[in-house]
Structure 1
Amino acid sequence: MHDHPLPADHDHVFLGARHDRNARRTWAVIAITLAMMGIEIVAGTLFGSMALVADGWHMSTHAAALLITALAYHLARRHAQDRRFTFGTGKFGDLAGFASAMVLLVVALLIGWESLMRLADPVPIDFGQAIAVAVLGLVVNLGCALLLHEGHENHHHGHAHAHDNNLRAAYLHVLADALTSVLAIGALIGGRAWGLVWLDPLIGIVGALVIARWSVGLMRDAGAGLVDFVPEQEELPGEIREALEIEGDRIADLHVWQLGPGHHGAIVSIRTTDPKPLGHYRDRLRHLHEISHLTLEVEPVRP
């Protein structure tokens, strides 16, 4: 917890503890995705493989979505000291995560629609080519997922509120691509072995539903951060009450909200018959490291 006597004396940088590391890894995944995209398009054109060319262009949509994540990290760091952002730039990640979730939902809808069309009007599939491309895509996506997975759920002091929704968005985009590759491999092998042409579009619909569910979950969590929604399972408000409501002191008003990954703001109004200096109440909350910005008000009342 930052403890300074005057607002002018402290900064408002509420970026996640792994902000710069996550930014570097996101740019690395973008580079890998773009390189893979180029290789697939060139190889597909040279060898006449439409499957390779199509997957190459498909990867460009994921590179664009990952770019939202990378730019959010860049802008959050660049404007971290800009006083116009009155509570810092920690919520840039939630904003980018919400935007990425919308892109992911559109991807799910497109996969679902294409699958329904193919279910109604099956198209011939070059199983050998398609399986090779799906395996190649799976290997690349699993490597990217490993890069983005560490710290995607970072529990801070036993609390589940250090989530970086920006990194989670990038992770889910890569994971969605890996899932479609796994499902495609299973469907294509089934189609090749038993001639079940309808298996590929049917499993495509299943994949679309799973990705849609992920995107809605991300949209809900990122949106909650944007509108300062505090979930019921959030422990911090209860811990603040436990620390301050002693010796006859009572909390008259309490506001807790997330400023960024692992950072919370709190406004506390205390009613007491025995008012003490503000430092006394700050000391009671010093063990709650999640509080990065604290505003206290003490209202004396008659016994």
Structure 2
Amino acid sequence: MGAHCCNHDAGPRNNDGRYRRILWVALAVNLAMFGIEIGAGIRAGSVSLLADSLDFLGDSANYAISLWVLGMALSWRARAAQFKAVSMLVFGFGVLGAALWQAWQGGVPSAPTMGLVGGLALLANLGVAALLYAYREGDSNMRSVWLCSRNDALGNLAVLAAALGVFGTGSAWPDLLVAGIMAALAVSSAVQVLRHADGELKGGQGHAH
């Protein structure tokens, strides 16, 4: 899932007002979806929905941090990106643990609930990703925001696929598999952002492949 990182000084410096407004919209959307998905995930017994809800919560914190460091020196934005990358790593390993626990406990999640809530989450994330698309190749902080939004949309597609799999097989394994994929996406993106931020702090360019 790697992508090229442009010059670390690139970015919409003259459009910070618009970028800030977009981050506020993204923050509100993610907080709302966190509340919806965590309730639905618990009721449905779905690890992938719970993983997605925690991802929404983590992204809300990421957007808040991004709003805080916007306009600060590059070194501060890079350190914020490092913090967010570490949170993505924690999320990834936490989801893996939850999937293993659910596999041990057994039980089949509700496919209709997974499909309905997953579809709503996809629409929300596609909207946020579209707003952030123009800022995907700025500094590491902007890049981390874009990667989070992109991964959310991909994760929602995976949840919908899991719902179909659970419905078709009557098994929890599609749900557990998707949770594992979401965890891998989080870890992969965290590594990209850490490399880019490290390059910025060292005065060079961070490249993720």
TM-score range (shorter-chain normalised) is 0.7 to 0.9
- 1:191 maps to what in 2? 166
Structure 1 residues 47-196: aligned runs within 5 Å: 50-51=43-44, 59-73=56-70, 76=72, 89-153=73-137, 163-196=138-171
Pairing 1:20–2:24 present = no
Which has the bigger relative contact order, CA under 8 A and spacing at least 6? 2
Deviations 1:185-216 (A, max 9, x none): 10121111122321211222122112211110
- CA–CA distance in structure 2, aligned partners of residues 231 and 101 of structure 1: 14
Deviations 1:43-63, CA, capped at 9 Å, x for gaps: x59xxx735995666633321
Instruction: Tell me how many residue pairs correspond in the alignment.
Output: 193
Q: How does 1:238-249 map to 2 (within 5 A)?
A: none
- Asked if the contact 1:135/1:185 (under 8 Å) is kept, the reply is yes
Q: How does 1:278-289 map to 2 (within 5 A)?
A: none
One-letter identity of the residue aligned with 2:187: A
Alignment check: 8 A CA contact 2:140 2:197 kept? yes
Shift of the alpha carbon at 1:91?
Answer: 2.8
SS in 2 for 1:91: helix
Scaled by the length of structure 1, what TM-score is found? 0.56
From the superposition, tell whether residues 114 and 229 of structure 1 become closer, same or farther in structure 2 (CA, over 3 Å).
same
Task: Give the letter aligned to residue 68 of structure 1.
Answer: I
CA RMSD of aligned residues (A): 3.0
Distance 1:30 1:230, change over 3 A: closer
Q: Which structure has more helix as a fraction of its residues?
A: 2
**Counterpart of 1:19 in 2: which secondary structure?**
helix
Runs of at least 5 residues in structure 2 that lack an aligned partner in the other structure: 1-10
Matches of 2:54 and 2:196 in 1, distance apart? 30
* Alpha-carbon distance in structure 1 between the residues aligned to 2:12 and 2:120: 36
User: SS state of the match for residue 150, structure 1?
Assistant: helix
Separation (CA, whole Å) in 2 of partners of 1:231 and 1:70: 22
CA distance 1:130–1:230, shift in 2 (3 Å): closer
Cα distance change, pair 120–130 in 1 and its aligned pair in 2 (3 A): same
Q: Which amino acid aligns with 1:23?
A: R
Distance 1:201-1:134 versus aligned 2 partners, 3 A rule: same
The structure whose residues are more often strand, as a share, is 1
Map of 2:8 onto structure 1 = none
Name the residue aligned to 2:5. Answer: none
**Residue of structure 2 in register with 1:32 after alignment:** 29
Report if the CA contact (8 A) 1:73-1:92 is conserved: no
Distance 2:148 2:161 in 1: 20
Larger Rg: 1
In the TM superposition, 1:256-271 aligns within 5 A as none
- Displacement, 1:17? 4.1
Task: Kindly provide the CA deviation profile for residues 231-251 of structure 1, in whole angstroms up to 9, marking residues without a partner as x.
Answer: 79xxxxxxxxxxxxxxxxxxx
Classify 1:136/1:208 alpha carbon distance in 2 versus 1 (closer, same or farther; 3 Å). same
Cα 1:15–1:96 change in 2 (3 A) is farther
Identity %: 24
